Amino acid sequence: MYIDSGLVKKYESFSDLRKKVEEEKILKIKNRLNKNPSPTTTESILGAFLEMYQPQVFPFIPVLIEKGYLVEPSSGFCGKYQECQALNGMFPIDDTIINKLLKIKVKVFKSTRSKSIKFWPESADLKKISDKYEEIVEVLPNRNMSVDPAETEEAVSFRRKYIPKNLTLKRNRLFEIMKFKVVESVNKQVKSRKLKKPQATDTELSLGVYLERIEPQVRQAVLMINRKGHSTDVSGFMDTIDTQSLAGDFILEDEYIERIRNLGVSIETNPSGYTVLQFKPEEADIEAIRKKWTSIASIFPATGRKADPSMTRKAREFRQRF
């Protein structure tokens, strides 16, 4: 069998260069963590320290973000023999740009959402490889829009682990960590409940959910409100990471609304009688949030009757199982 010694040598040179690049990257990450483990705003969006990018890609990350392209730390050397280079990320590329990239011998590979912009360098020369990345960045048009934070498992894990110094980012990150722990705890409790005692109680049938499915910081309040005869549908963390909510088919009189608002809680009722309560906790302190919910629930007046069943689709489907 014929073996192209020149090709073997070429592949070895790429493999050796990649090994050297990774060793240098590991040292840079270690040095960064020792000096400043707090991510910048850009790094929080990326879900990675800039030092986690290979040096031939590193200089172009800020420019790409400014243009509206979120590139993952997996970018850089690729292929069985590390003979190719790739920019990996979640961003749209139309056929016009694909054709422009083809003209500079760069190919675009697509999956469901992610893209991989690849090229195959002629030699293991980091400077020439970096120059090629610069060509690619010049071809990519400005999308004139900000990028959303990376949602890969690695990016989410990064944001939970490293807390930024920026006060707004720090606050959001601490709440994100707290929500993650709450959701994780709730899922474990529900799983255990289904195994040990799957039959729902009368209260759970009314709420349309296992008690274990209600987040722990608001669970006691929901039960108190239900016992007083008020129907609730949703509670706890909602779309905004640092906001607590509770909503349901109930109407409170003005005196109770005023007392609740005095606790720093917004309360709005639409024309159909659906009420939403919301507040932003001062800190990501689960016990403090629980106490605030209990204070809110204590203001609700007793109606002297049973709460109506929640009529959300999920609640109705829950009741149909029993």
Average pLDDT over residues 189-207: 95
Judge whether residue 112 has pLDDT over 80: no
Supply the pLDDT for residue 6. 75
pLDDT tens, position by position, 56-78: 999 999 999 999 999 999 999 99
pLDDT in tens, 22-53: 999 999 999 999 999 999 989 999 999 999 99
Q: State how far the Cα of 256 lies from the Cα of 298, in Å rounded to an integer.
A: 10
Is 164's pLDDT higher than 90?
no
Does pTM surpass 0.75?
A: no
The arithmetic mean of pLDDT across residues 203-214, rounded, is 97
* Rounded Cα distance, 143 and 121, in Å: 27
Distance CA 76, CA 271 (A): 56
Burial of 144 (0-12, 13-18, 19+ CB in 10 A): exposed
Contacting residues for 18 by C-beta, under 8 A, at least 6 apart = 76, 77, 82
- What is the distance between the alpha carbons of residues 196 and 236, in angstroms, rounded to a whole number? 25
Helices 167-196 and 216-227 cross at an angle (nearest 10°) of: 60
CA–CA gap between residue 13 and residue 125 (Å, rounded): 9
Q: Is the pLDDT of residue 90 over 90?
A: no
What pLDDT is recorded for position 120? Answer: 97
Per the prediction, the chain carries an average pLDDT of 93
Query: Six-digit token pair at 42?
Result: 């850009």
User: 242 falls in which pLDDT band (50, 70, 90)?
Assistant: very high
Q: To 10 degrees, what angle do helices 254-261 and 286-299 make?
A: 160
Domain ranges, ordered by start, for the chain: 5-152, 167-320
